[in-house]
Amino acid sequence: MKTDIMSPQEISAFQQLIWNYYSFYKRDFPWRYVQDPYYVVVSEIMLQQTQTYRVEPKFIYFIERFPAWADLAASSWFDVLIAWQGLGYNSRAKRLHDMAKRVMQDFDGCVPEKPEILETFSGIGPNTAGSICAFAFNKPTIFAETNIRAVFIYHFFPGSQKISDKQVLPLVQATLDTKDPRSWYYALMDYGVFLKKQARNPTRRSTHYIHQSKFEGSDRQIRSMILKLLLKTEKIHKDELVASIDREPERIMRILQDLCNEKLIVLDEPHFLIK
């Protein structure tokens, strides 16, 4: 990655802008500046595709229920899913639960500090691995997420469309404050939230921008209905389950198969259950 794309003066001016904003308007969340990397990982998985205001109360409840990797690894999938309810995208909870088991089994209960190792865990790509290393261990990793993209697209790509992370990441690297990357990334993200509120969301011009479809009537809604029903009944005959949901039977059966493939539920003929 090229790092000579900005002059020292330009880098200094940009950093000063971000730090000045952060000094007055930084946000505070329970997962920031914590000593336990477990909290960072839980928050990063929860924050995937979910707003901070929804994550904060669930994060507090989740870590009270499962205070450490060992507690999460030893818990049943049923109990983990109950604690996760309300956040959506339940496959994230499954991956976090599986990660806890592997951290305990293969890493003596300690989160790996290398991004390339973190990327071997299901559901953790380069950006999430980089963010975990920066926030949990204050390492100068290079990554982007929606609010960071907003900052760089707004300042460095005015009027441009279809901007990729391949274009953004060299700028992230060039401007990184290597003395305190953890605080720097928090500052970038907080400033990005501000920018997205002030004008048309700059991340709409990113090739990585995904417009979330409506929940009402979606497959996501049916998945949620199925899981809520199974969390109440624990075990239900497949005919009764299909009859309990006011949607097309063929669609319900397809989604049930998807949930089984993802190991979120189990088919024990002729019943479905969470196990």
Q: Count Cα atoms within 13 angstroms, Cβ side, for 85.
A: 15
Q: Where residue 2 falls among pLDDT bands split at 50, 70, 90?
A: very low
Q: Which residues are catalytic?
A: 44
Peptide bond into 270 cis (omega under 30): yes
What is the pLDDT averaged over residues 195-215? 84
List, as one string, the DSSP characters of 158-227. TT--SB-HHHHHHHHHHH--TTSHHHHHHHHHHHHHHHHHHSS-GGGGBTT--PPPPSTTSHHHHHHHHH
Q: Which residues pair with 272 in a beta bridge?
A: 236, 267
Distances (CA, A) of 121 to 75, 101, 185, 275: 19, 11, 23, 22
Full-model pTM: 0.92
pLDDT at 258 over 70: yes
pLDDT of the residue at 84: 96
pLDDT in tens, 76-119: 999 999 999 999 889 999 999 999 999 999 999 999 999 999 99
Percent of the chain whose predicted confidence (pLDDT) is above 90:
84
pLDDT at 66 over 80: yes
Nearest to residue 84, comparing CAs of 101, 61, 52?
Answer: 61
What is the pLDDT averaged over residues 260-265? 96
pLDDT of the residue at 37: 96
pLDDT of the residue at 4: 62
pLDDT in tens, 36-64: 999 999 999 999 988 999 999 999 999 99
Which DSSP symbol is given to 90? T
H-run or E-run covering 118: helix 115-118
What is the radius of gyration, based on Cα positions, of the chain?
Answer: 21
